């Protein structure tokens, strides 16, 4: 992995150097412990458009054998930031809203991807929408609002 440092020493994106997501980025180790434990969730810019992805594992499944809705919603939250990465321009942000609509069930049969767009940007807010798919099958439509903030010390 190759690290980049964000403002105030906060870990910025990390470029993966091996495995199926070599060349993709994720947030630096310790930047988001929850996403680190459930992921890895990755993103890259492809043909000028942001794309986020993860490889589902057995731990992502619910009792019915489908990808757990909570895992998809967590990935949607990650994707909001990946899609807004350029609009945020290194600013810190938090999720104000994250809306989701389940469209179909996912499984272990391929990489899960999210793509989308920034709908509007103000001085302090970024409005985003996207779609999560697996093998071109829509799984979840999502939208959200990110609020740019000042960096606070992490809670212990």
Q: Find, among 88, 100, 109, the residue nearest to 130 by Cα.
A: 100
By percentage, how much of the chain surpasses pLDDT 70?
86
Q: Find, among 41, 38, 47, 34, the residue nearest to 13 by Cα.
A: 41
Proportion of the chain in helix, strand, coil states, percent, rounded to 5? 20, 45, 35
Q: What is the CATH number of domain 2-149?
A: 3.10.129.10
Task: Enumerate long-range contacts of 64-72, CB under 8 Å, 24 or more apart.
Answer: 64/105, 65/107, 66/105, 66/106, 66/107, 67/105, 67/106, 67/107, 67/112, 67/134, 67/139, 69/102, 71/38, 72/100, 72/102, 72/106, 72/112, 72/132, 72/139, 72/140
**Domain parsing of the chain, residue ranges:** 2-149
Find the mean pLDDT for residues 139-151. 93
Q: Is pLDDT at 130 greater than 90 in this prediction?
A: yes
Taking a C-beta distance cutoff of 8 angstroms, is the pair 1, 22 a contact? Answer: no
Q: Find, among 85, 95, 89, 90, the residue nearest to 117 by Cα.
A: 85
Give pLDDT tens digits for 52-99.
999 999 999 999 999 999 999 999 999 999 999 999 988 889 999 999
Q: What is the pLDDT of residue 23?
A: 86
């Amino acid at each position: 992995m190759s690290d980049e440092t964000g403002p105030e020493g906060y870990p910025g994106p990390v470029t993966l150097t091996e495995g199926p997501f070599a060349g993709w980025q994720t947030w630096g180790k310790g930047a988001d412990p929850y996403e680190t434990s459930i992921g890895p969730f990755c993103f890259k810019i492809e043909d000028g458009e942001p794309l986020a992805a993860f490889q589902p594992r057995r731990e992502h499944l619910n009792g019915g054998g489908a990808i757990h809705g909570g895992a998809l919603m967590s990935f949607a939250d990650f994707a909001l930031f990946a899609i807004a990465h350029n609009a945020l321009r290194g600013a810190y942000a938090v999720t104000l809203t994250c809306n989701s609509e389940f469209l179909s069930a996912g499984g272990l049969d391929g990489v899960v991807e999210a793509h989308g767009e920034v709908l509007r940007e103000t001085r302090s807010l970024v409005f985003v929408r996207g779609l999560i798919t697996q093998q071109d099958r829509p799984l979840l439509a999502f939208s959200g609002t990110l609020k740019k903030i000042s960096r606070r010390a992490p809670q212990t």
